[in-house]
Amino acid sequence: MKKKLTITVDPELIPVAKRYARSRGMSLSALIEKYLAETTRREEESFASRWRGKFRPAEKHGDPRYEFLKKKYFDDSD
Protein backbone atom coordinates (compact mmCIF):
# COMPACT_ATOMS: atom_id res chain seq x y z
CA MET A 1 0.00 0.00 0.00
CA LYS A 2 1.34 3.42 -0.92
CA LYS A 3 1.61 6.21 1.64
CA LYS A 4 1.11 9.92 1.25
CA LEU A 5 4.22 12.11 1.56
CA THR A 6 4.28 15.86 2.00
CA ILE A 7 7.21 17.72 0.45
CA THR A 8 8.08 21.39 0.13
CA VAL A 9 8.94 22.64 -3.36
CA ASP A 10 9.54 26.04 -4.94
CA PRO A 11 6.11 27.18 -6.24
CA GLU A 12 7.57 28.07 -9.64
CA LEU A 13 8.86 24.52 -10.06
CA ILE A 14 5.49 22.80 -9.61
CA PRO A 15 3.87 23.67 -12.98
CA VAL A 16 7.13 22.97 -14.81
CA ALA A 17 7.49 19.60 -13.08
CA LYS A 18 3.85 18.71 -13.81
CA ARG A 19 4.31 19.51 -17.53
CA TYR A 20 7.51 17.46 -17.58
CA ALA A 21 5.76 14.47 -15.99
CA ARG A 22 2.72 14.83 -18.27
CA SER A 23 4.98 14.93 -21.35
CA ARG A 24 6.28 11.53 -20.28
CA GLY A 25 2.81 10.13 -19.71
CA MET A 26 2.99 9.99 -15.92
CA SER A 27 1.82 11.85 -12.88
CA LEU A 28 4.11 14.05 -10.83
CA SER A 29 3.83 11.54 -7.98
CA ALA A 30 4.90 8.70 -10.30
CA LEU A 31 7.80 10.77 -11.60
CA ILE A 32 9.02 11.54 -8.08
CA GLU A 33 8.61 7.90 -7.04
CA LYS A 34 10.58 6.72 -10.08
CA TYR A 35 13.37 9.24 -9.40
CA LEU A 36 13.61 8.24 -5.73
CA ALA A 37 13.70 4.54 -6.63
CA GLU A 38 16.48 5.09 -9.20
CA THR A 39 18.47 7.34 -6.86
CA THR A 40 18.37 4.96 -3.93
CA ARG A 41 19.21 2.01 -6.17
CA ARG A 42 22.30 3.84 -7.46
CA GLU A 43 23.56 4.48 -3.94
CA GLU A 44 23.68 0.75 -3.24
CA GLU A 45 26.27 0.27 -5.97
CA SER A 46 29.52 2.21 -5.72
CA PHE A 47 30.88 4.30 -8.57
CA ALA A 48 33.84 1.95 -8.91
CA SER A 49 31.69 -1.15 -9.13
CA ARG A 50 29.41 0.45 -11.75
CA TRP A 51 32.36 1.32 -14.00
CA ARG A 52 34.69 -1.64 -13.28
CA GLY A 53 35.63 -3.32 -16.54
CA LYS A 54 34.07 -0.65 -18.76
CA PHE A 55 37.31 1.07 -19.79
CA ARG A 56 39.94 -0.37 -22.07
CA PRO A 57 43.53 0.84 -22.44
CA ALA A 58 44.15 3.29 -25.24
CA GLU A 59 46.03 2.05 -28.28
CA LYS A 60 48.08 5.17 -28.89
CA HIS A 61 51.57 3.80 -29.46
CA GLY A 62 53.63 6.31 -31.40
CA ASP A 63 51.68 9.32 -30.10
CA PRO A 64 54.27 11.48 -28.26
CA ARG A 65 51.77 12.71 -25.67
CA TYR A 66 50.64 9.17 -24.92
CA GLU A 67 54.23 7.95 -24.65
CA PHE A 68 55.13 10.82 -22.30
CA LEU A 69 52.19 10.14 -19.99
CA LYS A 70 52.76 6.40 -20.12
CA LYS A 71 56.38 6.88 -19.09
CA LYS A 72 55.48 9.44 -16.41
CA TYR A 73 52.71 7.40 -14.75
CA PHE A 74 53.35 3.75 -15.56
CA ASP A 75 57.05 3.15 -16.07
CA ASP A 76 58.98 2.20 -12.93
CA SER A 77 62.26 3.76 -14.04
CA ASP A 78 62.81 5.82 -10.84
Assess if residue 40 is contained within a domain: yes
Give the pLDDT confidence of 30-69 residue by residue, as tens digits. Answer: 999 999 988 887 666 777 877 888 877 777 778 888 888 8
pLDDT, residue 18, reads: 95
- In this structure, the chain runs to a length of 78
Assess if residue 33 is contained within a domain: yes
pTM attached to this predicted model: 0.51
Helix axes 13-23, 28-44, angle to 10 degrees: 80
Q: 35-71 as b/e, with b when 16 or more CB fall inside 10 Å?
A: eeeeeeeeeeeeeeeeeeeeeeeeeeeeeeeeeeeee
Determine the distance from the C-alpha atom of residue 16 to the mean position of all C-alpha atoms in its chain, rounded to a whole number. Answer: 22
pLDDT band, very low/low/confident/very high, at 17 (cuts 50, 70, 90): very high
pLDDT, residue 28, reads: 95
| Res. 77: pLDDT tops 60 | no
Assess if residue 13 is contained within a domain: yes
Assess if residue 15 is contained within a domain: yes
Assess if residue 55 is contained within a domain: no
Which domain covers residue 23, as residue numbers? 9-47
Assess if residue 36 is contained within a domain: yes
